[in-house]
């Protein structure tokens, strides 16, 4: 049982690193305003990343995503260091991934139905956070202390 819990933890850590790299790339693209960072012929990430929806009060949404991925990764590193975190880290991880998935769903809606453009890097982030949500739900349901025998 302990091996499965650790495997899920490693999957969450790997996913958070993938999401972080993607979010940092999008943040750098936003800050530098560089259209050449997009993959030509594969969507229009530059238009999406420079739209009015790509910021909240001047803060790039990609940077907000990067902070969330960093926080998730750090939480996974320290989750076994205190009784409080041992008891609550699964809920915190679920909360972060659920919030990220809901926000990504909103941004995907904006991409598809408002801007009518697709940003491949944004889709990578949306898929990554969705996968992390599924893993966090599995971990939350299957591996609660009262379910481990």
128 against 44, higher pLDDT: 128
Residue 60 parent element (H or E): strand 59-60
Task: Convert 44-60 to b/e letters by CB count within 10 Å (16 or more is b).
Answer: bbbbbbeeebbbeeeeb
Q: To the nearest whole number, what is the mean pLDDT of the chain?
A: 89
| Residue 38: per-residue pLDDT | 84
C-alpha closest to that of 104 among 49, 52, 65: 65
Number of domains in the chain: 1
Range list of β-strands (E), 8-118? 55-56, 59-60
Q: 64 lies in which domain range?
A: 2-147
CATH number for the domain harbouring residue 99:
1.20.1440.130
| Residue 58: per-residue pLDDT | 92
pLDDT tens for residues 51-78? 999 999 999 999 999 999 999 999 999 9
Cβ neighbourhood burial of 111 (10 Å; 0-12, 13-18, 19+): buried
Query: What pTM does this model have?
Result: 0.87
């Amino acid at each position: 049982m302990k091996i499965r819990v650790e495997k899920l933890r490693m999957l969450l850590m790997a996913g958070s690193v993938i999401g972080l790299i993607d979010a940092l790339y999008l943040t750098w693209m936003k800050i530098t305003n560089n259209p050449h960072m997009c993959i030509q012929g594969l969507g229009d990430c530059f238009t999406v990343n420079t739209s009015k929806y790509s910021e909240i009060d001047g803060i790039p949404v990609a940077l907000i995503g990067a902070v969330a991925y960093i926080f998730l990764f750090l939480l996974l590193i320290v989750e076994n260091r205190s009784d409080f975190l041992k008891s609550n880290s699964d809920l915190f991880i679920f909360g972060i991934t659920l919030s990220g998935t809901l926000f990504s769903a909103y941004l995907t809606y904006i991409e598809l139905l408002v801007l009518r453009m697709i940003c491949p890097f944004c889709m990578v982030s949306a898929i990554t956070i969705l996968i992390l949500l599924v893993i966090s739900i599995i971990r939350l349901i299957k591996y609660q202390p009262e379910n481990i025998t």
